[in-house]
Structure 1
Amino acid sequence: MMPRWLRSLVQSATGRFGLIAVAVIALVALVSVFWTPFNPLAADIPNRWAVPSWPHLLGTDGTGRDILSLIMAGTRTTVFVSVGAGIVATIIGIALAALGALTMRWMREVVAVLVDILIAFPVLIIAMMISSVWGGSLWVVIWAVGIGFGVNIARVTRPELRRVQQSDFVLAGRASGLTNSQNLLRHLLPNVAPVFIVQLSWSMAVAVLAEAGLSYLGFGASVVEPSWGILLADLQRYISVHPLSVVWPGLAITTTVLALNLLGDALREATDPTLQHRRAETHTPVVVA
């Protein structure tokens, strides 16, 4: 039987759109590992700036590379960065939130000061500073976005953990002998999951924008790695002559970020018991005697 949260997600229009869009993006990334219509890095000068046609559905760029193949290959980079940044943000966010909510008072104060300091630095500035020292790479983007949003996740999740920690079922679990780690995994994290999911979806969406923006500026992916940001930077120089070519990478970035945000909002509504209860009360028919 389908879980309640999944049924609620599928019934939501935004949830369906986000789920389908993210699934298509993941499928394109997987397919591009084994097949693309053309070699995305192979130049074909005689076919430079070809208009959209059957061989080249989205046309070609100034060196004759197939734009559809470049976008498909760039999807791998996008998925890699967004998933990697999400994993890093999850680990850092949960660790800092747990330290800031479940430990001794002096440790909580240290974590609070550390979070306040780190959150003052914009993610892109951190990534550019790291890139200037270690060079541009996708790992720099992953760690910069992961650390930046991990701190943000900790800041938002920590008060929720403190609130849930005072609940009766948590106190009962502690009285029955559960350790802080067991309480965290069994009671606390499931109850703050809605807030956590939204923050995580935002971090993955920002990772897509950060990778594209940093690659556009030359701080992200290298030129031998297909990237939507690099493709956008290459094509925008000719926007006055070939404006349609710039639309495709921009549309890919916009659709991916929108899908991740909508899926995160829909997951929050599907997993938040309070919102589900309110929705049930709203749809309950009133019977007049």
Structure 2
Amino acid sequence: MQNNEPDLEDARYQVSSKREIIALLSTLMKENLELSIRLRDTEEAIATSILRMEDDVMFVKAAPDPTLNKAITESSDVVFAANPRNALIKFSAKHVHHTEVEHYLALKLDIPEQLVRIQRREFFRIAVPASSALRCKISFTTPEGKFNLVWVAISNISAGGIGIIDKNAALPLDTNVVYDDCQLELGVAASVRVRLRVRSSFREEPAVGDPLHHFGCEFVETPRAVLASIQRFILQLEREQNAQKIKVKDHPSQ
């Protein structure tokens, strides 16, 4: 079996108990929950799920594209991730083999010796009231070479990412796109630079007004200092909202 050392950022969430690892992966398999496959040197995310587990190996569905399967089996560092019940489970594999399971094209890999499990509380998500008017500036270049700068509203925030609303529908509704140059506003006088990966998106057609683009984004390789600033802001926002709730409760409208 391979030795999958977690990143320093994830080390405190490491699970090394074989029994616990098998239990977590078995839950993913029984509930047919989606796994994503990522190669370290690319931004490509490939959807899969666990087909079977036996002894010290597991089998997952192969990618629909033979080229992607070839890249996975030739890579020496493949990362698997899942989000069961809004938690995060992540592990890596250094050797993945192409095979077939019950008429499915499949990928075979060792059950990891370690994995990372981050509970929901670590990514506590809090809604951002519209009155806060928090924004994120996203700079990017289109495939045609045109530079764009888009301001979007922040609808919710956690230590793991943000929800944004593009009121001008300027960002394309693409998933797995990474925006490397983003400026996240944290209150009136503070801002931090982050990288964002789009994990989900949809188009809203309001009864009145122009279409809106909604995105769920995760932070990518966030420096510790930036993450600490984001977490402090979340706590501050939570305190302010709790104080407002108490105020309303003590002084209800007549």
Work out which structure has the larger RCO, using CA pairs closer than 8 Å and 6 or more positions apart in sequence.
Answer: 1
**Which protein has the bigger helix share?**
1
TM-score of the superposed pair, with normalisation by structure 1: 0.22
Indicate the structure with greater strand content.
2
Larger radius of gyration: 1
